[in-house]
Amino acid sequence: MTTPSPIPSWVLWPLRGLATAHLAGVLAQAALAGLFVTGDVDLLAWHRDNAGVTHSLLYLQLLAAVLLRRPARGPLWPALASLGIVAAETAQVALGQWRVIALHFPLGMAVFGLSAVFTAWTWRFGRGSAA
């Protein structure tokens, strides 16, 4: 039985950084939404702009997760998980633009939870834990 080769840092560190930055953007989205619904209507524009930045970070995270699989020979599931979060966040953006708040809020909480779990995994991965 062979021991898997370690994941190169040139793949792992960008994935960690992008996942962390994306999670920070998702957290900012929640804070901005909360401040908007309390009456500060100017923050809706910030919420919209931050959504664009956060979504862009997620696409970069997906690219880093694909690089984790190929060429770094890491697990496939982080790329699939990132793709799933892309799908959920794309739906989240559409629901927000369509003002379907009854679905936008709970889906936002799901995106936050999934992003938090994924980010925590990136910081544990490569430290002797199983993939």
Give this prediction's pTM: 0.91
Kindly report, residue by residue over 109-131, the tens digit of the pLDDT: 999 999 999 999 999 997 754 45
Biggest CA pair distance of the chain: 61
- Which pLDDT belongs to residue 130? 47
